[in-house]
Amino acid sequence: MQRGQTLRKWFWITAAGAVLFAACGKDNPFLPEVRQDNEVWIQSDGFNPKTLKVSAGTTVEWINKDSEVHLVDSGTPGNPTLLFTSTNIKPGSSWSHTFTKAGTYDYYCRIHGRTGTILVE
Ligand SMILES: [Cu+2]
């Protein structure tokens, strides 16, 4: 084999390896994403999970997996508790809040009225 051919061969082997490596990686779009223990996914049908159990000191992250803007507000529709209020959570973005004390924290989407609970132990 000629030197040029050998180089080309190794180029393609390296390129194929890089593509395979990327495909097997964490951000592989072909693999389903896994929700982390401190995450609430905002989906078109509501908060997932509807009740999230965490330990005190956990930073809970609401991730908007929907195509609409959502806004997380503590309390229940019509009865906000003013403990936490998110900014507008746009599709693909997220908002976080750290829960330092044990308790049951109800929240809802101020735009759509859907409800959820954070159970802090
Ligand atoms: Cu909403």
Q: Is the pLDDT of residue 4 over 90?
A: no
- Residues spanned by the domain of 107: 39-120
d(CA 16, CA 11): 9
Do residues 63 and 107 both lie within one domain? yes
d(CA 80, CA 40): 19
Q: What would the pLDDT profile of 7-35 be if each residue is shown by its tens digit?
A: 787 778 777 766 666 666 556 778 888 99
Do residues 9 and 58 both lie within one domain? no
Number of CB atoms found within 10 A of residue 36's CB:
9
pLDDT, residue 1, reads: 60
Q: What would the pLDDT profile of 40-73 be if each residue is shown by its tens digit?
A: 999 999 999 999 999 999 999 999 999 999 999 9
CA of 118 to the centre of ligand 1 (A): 17
Do residues 53 and 15 both lie within one domain? no
CA of 71 to the centre of ligand 1 (A): 6
Chain centroid to Cα 35, Å, comes to 7
Do residues 11 and 54 both lie within one domain? no
Number of CB atoms found within 10 A of residue 4's CB:
8
Do residues 45 and 6 both lie within one domain? no
Do residues 26 and 43 both lie within one domain? no
Do residues 57 and 14 both lie within one domain? no
Do residues 21 and 51 both lie within one domain? no
Do residues 110 and 76 both lie within one domain? yes
Q: What is the domain count for the chain?
A: 2
Do residues 65 and 116 both lie within one domain? yes
pLDDT, residue 5, reads: 77
**Angle (nearest 5°) at CA 39 between 35 and 45:** 75
CA neighbor of 75 nearest in space, from 119, 121, 117 = 117
CA of 95 to the centre of ligand 1 (A): 13
Q: What would the pLDDT profile of 74-92 be if each residue is shown by its tens digit?
A: 999 999 999 999 999 999 9
The neighbourhood of ligand 1, an ion, using CB within 5 A, equals 70, 109, 111-112
